[in-house]
Amino acid sequence: MSFDLPSFGREVQNSSSTFDYYQNNASRLTTAAQVEREQQPRPGALEHQPLDELVVLPPVGGALLFSGAQLHRSVPNTSGVARYSVDFRTVDARDLMTRRGAPLVDVHCTGTAIRDFRNVGNGTGFDEELVVRLFGRPPDGAMLVFGREDAERSAGPAAASREPA
Single-letter residue type at 21: Y
The Cβ-side half-sphere exposure at 59, using a 13 Å CA radius, reads 0
Burial of residue 100 (CB within 10 Å: 0-12, 13-18, 19+) is exposed
Per-residue pLDDT of the chain (165 residues; tens, 9 = 90+): 999 888 888 888 999 999 999 998 888 777 666 667 766 778 888 988 888 889 998 888 898 888 888 888 888 889 898 888 888 889 999 999 998 988 788 889 999 999 999 999 999 999 999 999 999 999 999 999 988 787 777 666 554 444 444
* Cα(160)–Cα(23) distance, integer angstroms: 26
Domain count of the fold of the chain: 1
Q: What is the pTM of this model?
A: 0.76
Domain that residue 141 falls in: 2-162
